[in-house]
Structure 1
Amino acid sequence: MDRRAMLRATVLGAGAVALPFTAWSAAYGAPAQYAPGPYGPLLPADARGIQLPAGFTSTVVARSRQVVPGTSYVWHDAPDGGAVIPNGSGWVYVSNSEVGAAAGGGASRIVFDATGAVVGAGRILGGTNNNCAGGKTPWHTWLSCEEVSRGRVFETYPLGGTAVARPAMGRFKHEAAAADPVRRVVYLTEDESDGRFYRFVPATWGDLSAGTLQVLCAGSGTSGSFTWQTVPDADGSPTHTRYQVAAAKSFNGGEGCHYADDRVWFTTKGDNRVWQVNLTTGTYELAYDDNLVSPGTAPLTGVDNITGSTYGDLYVAEDGGNMEICLITPDDTISPFLRITGQSGSEITGPAFTPAGDRLYFSSQRGTSGSSSGGITYCVTGPFRR
């Protein structure tokens, strides 16, 4: 029995409830190496400039400064981190806007019915700065994170409600968040060249208004054991949170974050790595490092946003590089899943699957223009492994 099959049997045998994005994740081991992808080679670019494997198709969902088709809402500039929130028989795609408050920073949503048709769109957060990534919660809210010094986390309500700041989650240069319903914590990345990896332990699960901010502590190596220590002052003033605990491990430019089945993966763009933290064994290691790909050229650079499929594959988006979303399989192989052509001045952001796992949403933050006003949000459909 392979590792994925063994884990799946273990999960089902334990009577666990299978949830999209959090079930049947693989027990990843050594850093991934290049191999042909499970869907075959990329075909020539389609009419939207996207190269995809056979059987997959792309559509444009929205464009910055243009009305979202089927609605009266004008889509925001610089679409960045995103997620899909279940909504009855349909779903909502939420997306951050990585611009300043005066330019419309915050987050928006697009509402889809069960067929995937757009039935609404609107603003869910405004007046905030450089909302880069974030993460969804099990109670169907979206954590929108400010990527500025002493930035804040805002909890937004894509299904209805007023956004609220969550300062107890720490004031630092936030990037992404990932909720762990087993340990009842939220993991947080920090986009600094000497950033840290945090977890927030709410006083009450489901209520992020109060709790304890902790930081991962470990040695300087790329693998080993770790512990958590409490950050004395989550407000980060006058001493930044990353400097308050001497034993805290430094990571070079924390970006995307994804939790599944007792593991959390996060990316560091400064050194093109994907890290895996095994929460059961209390150990960490590399899931990918562009310097450790051999032989040949590393397929993934500009490592940024990350998400996972119901099958256990990881999808990692590039900020620059070849403008690809690369796929890391449970067998520790990596290959390009898609490539956007003609948009070298952009980055790929916000990859997220629908609950059924048959649609992947993502954005090109600056599109063909290379400016924040040129963002494009896409959807890819096809025979995803589920």
Structure 2
Amino acid sequence: MLRATVLGASAVALPFTAWSAAYAAPAQPATGPYGPLQAANSHGIQLPAGFTSQIVARSGQAVSGTSYVWHQAPDGGAVFANGSGWIYVSNSEVSSGSGGGASRILFDSSGAVVGASRILSGTNNNCAGGKTPWNTWLSCEEVSLGRVWETYPLGGTAVVRPAMGRFKHEAAAADPDRRVVYLTEDETNGKFYRFIPNTWGDLSAGTLQVLVAGSATSGSFSWAAVPDPDGSPTATRSQVSGAKSFNGGEGCHYSNDTVWFTTKGDNRVWQLNLANNTYELAYDDNLVTSGSAPLTGVDNITGSSFGDLYVAEDGGNMEICMITPDDKISVFLRITGQSSSEICGPAFTPAGNRLYFSSQRGTSGSSSGGITYCVTGPFRT
């Protein structure tokens, strides 16, 4: 559940089956659960009291303790359990000639780096993606007729998955309950898709569908098959009459019968309620009713085990903002001195006490200046 509604003068938390019928409103600014941000630390990051940060890797430099040189323009990412430790995977949003693809960093149970290597090479503008329940990373190409590549952080050779459609891919989110994968499209008239594999766990074949709905910001939706997932000569987003357009699809996250995704063109977080096939706005900067909107330039999104959403900014004030289960939004962290960059790849460790993310262009404003961080602290779990 990521909703609470106000009935009369009392706030009542509703179970999922009940709140979908309530009159929910987009998130509004409030004081965050961790309190105000402190002064910027030595990394230029403002965090709540009790939280600390470290630099994990820098583009163009060997990852500490390894000989592997970290890729340029780190973007979407995810964390995978690996024995008593874990692996952080990160995309590289540059062309194939500049090292596009994805890399991984291996950590032991204490969070120390124990290895780093490439898991995907020769691809273009790998922006975001998504983690699967069978521990693969879907690395998505954000180019015209872009593809989804299934990579293997725990070991294995990357494989292209053309059945998932060729379009300007952004993010993916696996739904193990319905056995589908949701996909966003980074176009001003982009669509929202789902891929239904013929066999769950095997993405080599299946059906690509697109969301069909009205033009309003809330209502009911359905799905329709995309006739030609290859997207040529007709783009996938132009093949189905009534498919709903979204202005610049970005991050995507699934949990508990709900999928959230962001659109950068209008600074919105959308929410699909999959139990009853309805959609609504979880956040819209134009619908903030008091003070200034804390979240602009919406981009990657992830969730904690507690149910908080963490939304990273592309531009804005270089912040990661939180949307809590009672529809309150606040700033969790802010990176200073990097106004020409964007925050990418937020992902939690299995224990939920570490958050990894990157500043794609760092202090230099160039793809060669990317920085990958880890924040540790008393996250709600």
CA contact (8 A) 1:28 1:287 kept: no
* Secondary structure of 2:97 counterpart: helix
Cα deviations by residue, 1:355-379 (Å, 9 ceiling, x for unpaired): 1100000000000000000000000
Q: Distance in 2 between matches of 1:120 and 1:289?
A: 41
Matched letter for residue 143 of structure 2: V
Aligned to 2:82: 87
> Scaled by the length of structure 2, what TM-score is found?
0.95
- Asked if residue 268 in structure 1 is aligned to residue 263 in structure 2, the reply is yes
Matched letter for residue 69 of structure 1: S
CA contact (8 A) 1:49 1:340 kept: yes
Q: Distance in 2 between matches of 1:272 and 1:373?
A: 27
Q: Distance in 2 between matches of 1:209 and 1:87?
A: 25
CA contact (8 A) 1:28 1:331 kept: no
Give the deviation of 1:223 after TM superposition. Answer: 0.2
Aligned to 2:209: 214
Q: Distance in 2 between matches of 1:354 and 1:67?
A: 23
- Asked if residue 175 in structure 1 is aligned to residue 175 in structure 2, the reply is no
- Asked if residue 330 in structure 1 is aligned to residue 325 in structure 2, the reply is yes
Give the deviation of 1:6 after TM superposition. Answer: 6.2
> Scaled by the length of structure 1, what TM-score is found?
0.94
Matched letter for residue 67 of structure 1: A
Q: Distance in 2 between matches of 1:326 and 1:318?
A: 8
Paired residue for 2:295, among 280, 300, 308? 300
Q: Distance in 2 between matches of 1:291 and 1:182?
A: 33
CA contact (8 A) 1:145 1:174 kept: yes
* Secondary structure of 1:168 counterpart: helix
Give the deviation of 1:5 after TM superposition. Answer: 7.3
Cα deviations by residue, 1:97-121 (Å, 9 ceiling, x for unpaired): 0000000000000001111111000
Paired residue for 2:122, among 119, 127, 132? 127
Cα deviations by residue, 1:309-364 (Å, 9 ceiling, x for unpaired): 00000000000000000000001010100000000000000000001100000000
Paired residue for 2:41, among 40, 43, 46? 46
Give the deviation of 1:29 after TM superposition. Answer: 3.6
Paired residue for 2:56, among 36, 52, 61? 61
Q: Distance in 2 between matches of 1:249 and 1:376?
A: 36
Q: Distance in 2 between matches of 1:39 and 1:7?
A: 25
Aligned to 1:224: 219
How many pairs does the alignment contain?
A: 368
Q: Distance in 2 between matches of 1:90 and 1:199?
A: 32
Aligned to 1:15: none
Give the deviation of 1:131 after TM superposition. Answer: 0.2
- Asked if residue 346 in structure 1 is aligned to residue 341 in structure 2, the reply is yes
Give the deviation of 1:86 after TM superposition. Answer: 1.0
Q: Distance in 1 between matches of 2:24 and 2:42?
A: 38
Aligned to 1:235: 230
Stretches of 4+ moved more than 3 A in 1? 2-8
Aligned to 2:70: 75
Cα deviations by residue, 1:127-167 (Å, 9 ceiling, x for unpaired): 00000000000000000000000000000000000000000
Matched letter for residue 116 of structure 1: G
Paired residue for 2:277, among 271, 274, 282? 282
Paired residue for 1:356, among 351, 360, 366? 351
Aligned to 2:157: 162
Aligned to 1:199: 194
CA contact (8 A) 1:28 1:330 kept: no
Cα deviations by residue, 1:235-289 (Å, 9 ceiling, x for unpaired): 0000000000011000000000000000000000000000000000100000000
Aligned to 2:91: 96
Q: Distance in 2 between matches of 1:86 and 1:247?
A: 41
Aligned to 1:115: 110
